[in-house]
Structure 1
Amino acid sequence: MSLLGGIRPPIAVLSVLLLALAGITALTLGRAGQEAVPQAIKSSQQHFAEDGAIALRASIDESVTDLTRTAGLFSAGEPVPADAVLDKIGSVYQKWMGTAVVEISSGKLLAARGENLPLTAIDRGALADEDGLAPRMVRLENGETRLLSFALLTWKGQPQQLLVASGSLRFPGISLGKFRSIAVVGQDGKVLSTDGIPEPEQVLTDLQRDEVKQSNKQLRSFATTAAKKARAHPLKSKEPGSGGFLGVSGHLTGERYLGERAVAGYASLAGPEAGKATVATRLGLAVVAMVPVAEDPTATSSSAFGILAAAALLLIGGVTVFLLLRTVQRPLIQLFLEGRRLTRGDLERPVSVPRRGEAARIGAALERLRRQLLGAPADTQREPGRRRRFGSRTLLAVCAVLLLAWSAPLMLLLNRAGDTVVVPQQLVNDQRERTDTLTDRVRRALNEGHADLTSVASLMGDRTEASDMTTVLESTLNQHARYQSLYVLDAQGKVLAEAGGDPRSPSGKGPSDEAIRVVDEGGKEPVIFGTAEVPGREGAAVVGEFRIEFLNSLLKRPGLGAVRVVDEKRRVIGANTGYREFEGLPNGRLKALAEGTGQKVGLSPRPSGVLYRGGGDGIEIAAAAPFVGGGAAGSLRWTVLSWQPASNLAIPEYSLQNRTVLAGLLGITAAAACLGWLHIVVVRPLRHLADQAEALADGDRRTVLYPRHHDEVGAVTRSLELLRQQLPTGTQRKRDGVTAGLAGRN
């Protein structure tokens, strides 16, 4: 018999699938909602740590790039005193804690600004190596960690100088909320910097002091675990096809303390592209974000539903398999044995005819053929009533209805999560804080871009040749992916030098007085211009056109849903998904949310998070955060909005609903696959064989019977073909009849 054909494999596979589905149903439906801390909150802390890792990596890489590029611009011009270098850097960038210029050959300190730098930790002899200028972390006497960045100042005929800048490892613009803490962790698991946890000496009560100590203890424990997990390869640390954050990330659950349980997310510093290392990623740092979550004692659900559903499936599945065995498999095997007996010449015993269906028709035909082999004429064996009702197709339909009676309620009716689903407030807070963090990241990116333009403009005054200015612009364009094009305009709007794409500034107009502005050209995307005046050039300015893809790439954050950047008129400037230029927000409540953030005259800007119920879109979490802070982008009055349906989150009610629907879909799939397999391989050939068997018994001796498959039906077909070959044809019967008549007369 064929391994994949026949009556046995479909029924056996159906039995195994139903048993497996019953086990899965009992386990998954019984365990849904039993976690005191929902999976959605754990995943949210993981995404929060990923946001911190992205912000920290971008800040470190940007600082190193700015220092290197600034030193290169100084080195390309005439020699400048060390004090002038530091003054110029300090006027453009305010990101470093301290800066210094050191003569490499003698180690002499030429100039310094800000905090004192640990220059003795610098190995000047290793600066000639390939990695000699790589940033390194040093610990100060007060226990704080600093990141030292280096760049070379080289002028012809003068000793080489080393430009040193120190920066802290704190997170730029992270919105922590009231109770969250975040930390930078080294490769050895030590906490290098923290935000959000006060010192024990700064609290007033003993209870608060104990809580702070417990938080510090829990954070150190999380840091040790996160450092170990962060060493794994990103591809091996995630499920295949999960995508999202490019580095190693996850979540951890801590101890219970005063009715709350600490939940943390961790993430390693990862590059903006898969497999591409940066200066920051080589440091081996990780980020841990921790928040205490109140446990819900009512969250634990009973396992009764899963057990009852599994028991019902076992009962229905047992009845289904019994029907298939009793009414399809057993009669077919009986026909196979009876047909083989007749072909061997055992014609004395009558054929055991099944009770109903195609098997009964074939059995009756075999009995008539047995009689014909014994000498009875074919035309005398007709039966007036053939048992055609309740055939195999009807039986399969009954089995399908039985399995559908279990699957359909699970898929359509039971465990429905309605509008009364409890959404933890922590998820709304996380949506608001992550949106606020993203807003600050966008604002800082634009400020950094304008600071680069200011740095280029400050060094452009000494260059009058177009080729020299073009060289500086091309160098800046190659080092930063944020610009579409860079060019220099004079006071009348004439392009003096350019790099990148074609300038899109209005022709015949001089540089704008606005540091950053958005122009609607009527094309497919908004055009964002950054302008920095060139000192001493009578109204000339450096203009940079920001790539809209750069802005949109900042908005792609896992677990945040749809994100939009809108201007003061609530028109969309950028998004993490497809959009039209300057289109409006999808609905009125999002517009009202953007207006409620305080971007009106007389109101202080503030981020906000809202849980919407009803309105045709179901339960939805939304947040909005306006641009807050200084810099060139502060005057844009933009707002970042994010929203997502609560059904996308791993909330217990939705998890139970999804698992229930999945169980129903699996039941329908198993029934359709196995019953369809049975219909194609057994039932349809069996119906065709029943017609052929009855035609053969009615006297059709010319039609050859070919088996379609090497299975039970094929075996019965071969038996009928052998019987056909043994039966006399009409010519033989006539000749035999004439011979018998002549013999009688003689």
Structure 2
Amino acid sequence: MPLLGGVRPPIALLCLLIVALAGLTAKVLGPAGEPVVPNAVLGSQQHFAEDGAIALRASIDERVTDLNRTAAVLNAGKYTEPERVLSDLSNTYQKWTGTTVLDLESGKVLAARGETIPLGWLDKDALTGDNALTPRMVRLKTGDVRLMTMALLDWKDRPQQLLIASNSLSVPAINLGPFRSMAVVARGGEILATAGFEQAEALNSDAERDELTFLQKQMSRLSEDAAEETEEDPVSAREPGSRGYPGVSGTLLGDSYNGRIATAGYASLASADPEQRKSVGAGLGLTVVAMLPVVQEEAAGQERELYGLIAAGVLVVVGLLAAALLWRAVQRPLLALFLESRRLARGDLTRPVAVPRWGEAARVGAALERLRAQLAGGDVEPSTQRTGRRGRFGLRVPLALTAFLLLLWCVPVGLLLNRTDASVSVPSTMVNDQRDRTDLVADRVRRALNEAQADLASMTRLIDPSDADTASDVLSDALREHTRYGSLYVLDRGGDVIARAGDEPHAGWGDDEGTKGEDAPLIRVTGEGGKKPVIQAAAAVPEHKGMTLVGEIRVEFLNSLLARPGLGEVRVVDAKARTIGASDGFLAFEGLPRDSLTDLVKAGGLRVGAGPVENGLLIREGRSVTVAAAAPFSGGGVASDIGWTVVSWQNAKHFEIAAYEREDRSVLAGMLGLALIVVCLGWIHLVVVRPLRALASSAEKLADGDLKTVLYPRYHDEVGAVVRSLELVRQQLQARRQNQARRSAEPRLGAGGR
């Protein structure tokens, strides 16, 4: 008998899989305790650090690009006095803590604004070679670290000058919430800047001050660990084939204090698109660490472990019943047929065939008995009486009963056990993180719009409206450099386009609001009724009153700023709560999908309904819980007063909360049970039931006298062995019939001879 074929392997596999599934069920459905910190909280800290790293990297790259662009604009024009250079720079970009222009030949400072920039770090390597004018990190006497960005000012017949701008490496100025802190860490674990601790320094009690000291020590230790982790190559740090954050990111657990444990997420600065453009910020070797102390979770109750053990025990009992049913209804009759058919093939015809009671096995057994009678009685004529019953369903009935028994376990476990509803408790940390990350995205979008308008203001210095061809060439060059724009064009006082590059311009600047030229807002949205909102930014062309440079910002660029993992669906809406951009697909100027979200936006992001924290809201509808947050634009720049709000929401099921994880595990156990049914019972149906039904038909035809059809075994198993035995019986019957025909013909031949 074969070891890998026939009826035994699928039944044995069924038993093994049931035992394995029972063990898995006991382990995952009834853990003895939950992790001290939910995975959802750890993952949120990682996403928070990634958002901070993206914002810091974009901020550094934008500062470098802006300074280089300003130098290029100045070099293309006439000589400008150093004081005028710094004045125009501060009016266009309000982002540097200090600026300086010095003479390269003499090293003399020609002009300075803001904080004093030390020059001791300037050397030959900083100005020549492959690393010429590369940004440098410099520590001031106060202990603060500044990023020094340099650009060369070079006019014809004028000594070369060096434009230096310094800015801090602090994380974006957003609301981090109480006790949340972020740090910018250099290679080796040195903390360059922190944010968040200053909000807790106003605490008065000794216990709170002790906790603050503890957190500061934890930040120092975790920063060293994070810097060590980010030294790994980003490709090898992730699983093969995985995507997500392009740099190295992860989570860390610190020590506990007064029932709180320090959790941290870290992320190295990485280029947004490494294949297209090298990032200056990504090359500085910086890491952003976000830390938050959270309350440790209590161990789960023993009743959950009991539920898992009960479910596993019930599965074992059901599995034993199913295996016993298959053994009694399928395996034992088939093995009996195998033995009986082999006995007949060997010529043992002394005792009747033991015919099974029903199904295909009964039909085959009845046919074997008729064949035995034919072989034993010497009468080769087929008998017209059949003793086996031709069942319509046969062995499919025990298979269906077995599947029903297993479904009695799979369906309740998958659909009823550990089910959640709207009463699920969502950690307040998750709601706070949703709010803070939404605030961070709003800050990114606001800064991007401010940068877009500042770029236009810088471009206006290169545009001469009197020369349309040259102006169009300048706009084309700028459009290739700035992917955020879909089109750039210059409008005269009457709103006519005199130079353009990129896509066809939409509505004229100020047409929809009855304002023209410089009276129009610097950033606005038009295009109602169209397929896409038209986001326009503008800057007046100096020395040409009424002339305006307009740039239409691509909606795709805005959408790319909103897509962040772990934040759900994110949208930018105007003051009327109409959609301007979204992380997923949207219709132009459509409303928000829920009235509660609209109320949250119109309330300015403040608490609405049952929201546990400001700017955060829990929406409980039916059996689902949705976490939402809204962050209106705030801060400086021309985009701060346009009335836009970033709103985000996601189903709490997406969080790795223990209740949802148990529900998912229950569903997984039920699905594994269904897969077990399909695989094992399907295997039995394919290799046993179907061949046995065909065998029953062939055996009945043979017993009815069909001795011409040769029987070929398809498989080397029990059914195939019965087929081989029937073929031997057929050959014996055929030989006996031929002998009888020959003996009956001999008397007739003898009589004819006389």
TM-score scaled by length of structure 2: 0.91
Aligned partner of residue 288 in structure 2, secondary structure: strand
Kept in 1: contact 2:200–2:212 (CA 8 A): yes
Q: CA deviation at 1:647?
A: 1.6
Give the alignment partner of residue 649 of structure 2, picking from 643, 657, 662: 643
Residue number in structure 1 paired with 2:360? 358
Residue number in structure 2 paired with 1:735? 741
Q: CA deviation at 1:297?
A: 2.5
Cα offsets for 1:613-671 (capped at 9, x unmatched): 12x47211111111122321122111111111112211111111111011001101111
Residue number in structure 2 paired with 1:267? 267
In 2, distance between residues paired with 1:707 and 1:502? 75
Alignment of 1:535-614 (within 5 A): 535-597=542-604, 608-614=615-621
Residue number in structure 1 paired with 2:610? none
Residue number in structure 2 paired with 1:219? 219
Cα offsets for 1:515-571 (capped at 9, x unmatched): 111112532101111111122212112111111111111110111111111111121
Residue number in structure 2 paired with 1:603? none
Residue number in structure 1 paired with 2:144? 144
Matched, 1:683 2:672: no
Residue number in structure 2 paired with 1:424? 427
Matched, 1:160 2:160: yes
Give the alignment partner of residue 305 of structure 2, picking from 292, 295, 303: 303
Residue number in structure 2 paired with 1:294? 295
Matched, 1:450 2:453: yes
In 2, distance between residues paired with 1:365 and 1:680? 23
Q: Structure 1 residues 741, 396: closer, same or farther in 2, change over 3 A? A: farther
Q: CA deviation at 1:743?
A: 12
Alignment of 1:629-640 (within 5 A): 629-640=635-646
Kept in 1: contact 2:349–2:376 (CA 8 A): yes
In 1, distance between residues paired with 2:441 and 2:165? 27
Q: Structure 1 residues 541, 743: closer, same or farther in 2, change over 3 A? A: closer
Q: CA deviation at 1:382?
A: 3.4
Kept in 2: contact 1:199–1:212 (CA 8 A): no
Residue number in structure 1 paired with 2:721? 715
Residue number in structure 2 paired with 1:40? 40
Aligned partner of residue 60 in structure 2, secondary structure: helix
Aligned partner of residue 121 in structure 1, secondary structure: coil
Deviates more, 1:506-515 or 1:431-440: 506-515
Matched, 1:397 2:400: yes
Give RMSD over aligned pairs.
2.9
Amino acid at match of 2:414: M
Kept in 1: contact 2:496–2:508 (CA 8 A): no
Kept in 2: contact 1:32–1:652 (CA 8 A): no
Kept in 2: contact 1:572–1:581 (CA 8 A): yes
Q: CA deviation at 1:370?
A: 2.8
Cα offsets for 1:405-445 (capped at 9, x unmatched): 11010111111112211111111111111111211211111
In 2, distance between residues paired with 1:611 and 1:590? 10
Kept in 1: contact 2:507–2:526 (CA 8 A): no
Amino acid at match of 1:577: D
Amino acid at match of 2:368: L
TM-score scaled by length of structure 1: 0.92
In 1, distance between residues paired with 2:390 and 2:560? 71
Percent identical pairs in the alignment equals: 53
In 2, distance between residues paired with 1:444 and 1:626? 13
Aligned partner of residue 30 in structure 2, secondary structure: helix
Kept in 2: contact 1:35–1:299 (CA 8 A): no
Cα offsets for 1:233-257 (capped at 9, x unmatched): 3343334555332222222222221
Aligned partner of residue 727 in structure 1, secondary structure: helix
Q: Structure 1 residues 508, 426: closer, same or farther in 2, change over 3 A? A: closer
Matched, 1:434 2:466: no
Amino acid at match of 2:659: E
Amino acid at match of 1:712: E
Amino acid at match of 2:417: L
Q: Structure 1 residues 413, 176: closer, same or farther in 2, change over 3 A? A: same
Cα offsets for 1:133-167 (capped at 9, x unmatched): 22121222222111111111112223322211111
Kept in 2: contact 1:200–1:213 (CA 8 A): no
Kept in 2: contact 1:572–1:585 (CA 8 A): yes
Matched, 1:534 2:544: no
Flag structure 1 segments of 5+ consecutive residues without an equivalent: 600-605
Q: CA deviation at 1:91?
A: 1.2
Q: Structure 1 residues 29, 162: closer, same or farther in 2, change over 3 A? A: same
Q: Structure 1 residues 123, 333: closer, same or farther in 2, change over 3 A? A: farther
In 2, distance between residues paired with 1:607 and 1:548? 29
Q: Structure 1 residues 630, 317: closer, same or farther in 2, change over 3 A? A: same
Residue number in structure 1 paired with 2:8? 8
Deviates more, 1:550-559 or 1:94-103: 94-103
In 2, distance between residues paired with 1:737 and 1:197? 113
Kept in 2: contact 1:356–1:389 (CA 8 A): no
Residue number in structure 1 paired with 2:207? 207
Q: Structure 1 residues 49, 504: closer, same or farther in 2, change over 3 A? A: same
Give the alignment partner of residue 488 of structure 1, picking from 487, 490, 494: 490
Q: CA deviation at 1:488?
A: 1.9
Flag structure 2 segments of 5+ consecutive residues without an equivalent: 607-612
In 1, distance between residues paired with 2:308 and 2:592? 43
In 2, distance between residues paired with 1:508 and 1:585? 27
Q: Structure 1 residues 199, 402: closer, same or farther in 2, change over 3 A? A: closer
Amino acid at match of 2:293: P
Kept in 2: contact 1:566–1:574 (CA 8 A): yes
Kept in 2: contact 1:269–1:281 (CA 8 A): yes
Aligned partner of residue 122 in structure 1, secondary structure: coil
Cα offsets for 1:316-345 (capped at 9, x unmatched): 223322332343234323433443343344
Deviates more, 1:293-302 or 1:277-286: 293-302
In 2, distance between residues paired with 1:380 and 1:519? 93
In 2, distance between residues paired with 1:400 and 1:139? 72
In 2, distance between residues paired with 1:200 and 1:590? 31
Cα offsets for 1:193-239 (capped at 9, x unmatched): 11011399865443232112100111112112211222233343334
Kept in 1: contact 2:353–2:369 (CA 8 A): yes
Q: Structure 1 residues 508, 116: closer, same or farther in 2, change over 3 A? A: closer
Residue number in structure 2 paired with 1:19? 19
Aligned partner of residue 176 in structure 1, secondary structure: coil
Kept in 2: contact 1:33–1:655 (CA 8 A): no
Give the alignment partner of residue 470 of structure 1, picking from 469, 472, 479: 472
Q: Structure 1 residues 660, 242: closer, same or farther in 2, change over 3 A? A: farther
Amino acid at match of 2:172: P
In 1, distance between residues paired with 2:199 and 2:587? 49
Deviates more, 1:36-45 or 1:356-365: 356-365
In 2, distance between residues paired with 1:625 and 1:199? 20
Kept in 2: contact 1:182–1:196 (CA 8 A): yes
Kept in 2: contact 1:179–1:291 (CA 8 A): yes
Residue number in structure 1 paired with 2:132? 132
Q: CA deviation at 1:736?
A: 5.7
In 1, distance between residues paired with 2:618 and 2:442? 20
Q: Structure 1 residues 2, 474: closer, same or farther in 2, change over 3 A? A: farther
In 2, distance between residues paired with 1:249 and 1:358? 62
Amino acid at match of 2:166: S
Deviates more, 1:552-561 or 1:730-739: 730-739
